[in-house]
Amino acid sequence: MELTKYGHACVRLEKDGKVLIIDPGVFTEDPVLDDADAVLITHAHFDHLDTERLKAASPDIEVWTCAEVAASLTDAPMRVQTVKHGDTFTTAGFTVSTHGEWHAANHPDMPIANNVGFLVDEELFYPGDALTVPEARVGTLLVPTGAPWLKLSEMVEYLRTIRPARAYSTHDALYGEVGLTLVDNWLKMEADRQNADIRRLPLRSPTVLS
């Protein structure tokens, strides 16, 4: 399986000629859906979900997401399928299980959004905007590193709880150059401590998950 990070919170997975996209939000640059076979969406926030882009995409794409997102895509041209915590399904040759139900608490005046994390091929876990710990081994973790709902201590504790062989930064578009340098330093500290591959991936540079 090959992993490519796009902007902010979007990643592309490719295996056996099939392409799976996770969370193509408004910060994601095109072309991201041109060759997609399936799309997973964790929750309805705009940095993870670009409804207009999906409505303009190929009707052959399969979309799998939580109930809140599915309700906003009723006029999309493709089939949109709703999943919840505990489900397992196969799409574009990938086996996916779902973990978690809710977005992390954010602003006190904002309702907590529906959020589902995806474990792909029993290897890569993408939690969305949450620090969900799945009841399964995680080889590769896409770890959020910058958000209004996230503290550095929580991110570090999340890495130490899951202890993946590989962890790569996601949800980091809010940082400028100085902030990204801090992220790199924090991740390197954990990489050294855990003797693991923990870092920020360069954009659009494929990484093979062994």
The pLDDT value recorded for residue 110 is 87
Which sign does the torsion angle of CA 98, 95, 60, 143 carry? positive
Q: What is the pLDDT of residues 27-53, one digit of tens each?
A: 998 889 999 999 999 999 999 999 999
What is the DSSP track for 90-119? EETTEEEEEE--BPPP--TTSPPPB--EEE
Token output for 128: 């969305």
The pLDDT value recorded for residue 30 is 80
User: Does the pTM exceed 0.85?
Assistant: yes
Coil, helix or strand for 164?
Answer: coil
Spatial separation of the C-alpha atoms in residues 149 and 210, rounded to whole Å: 32
Q: What is the pLDDT of residues 61-101, one digit of tens each?
A: 999 999 999 999 999 999 999 999 999 999 999 999 999 99
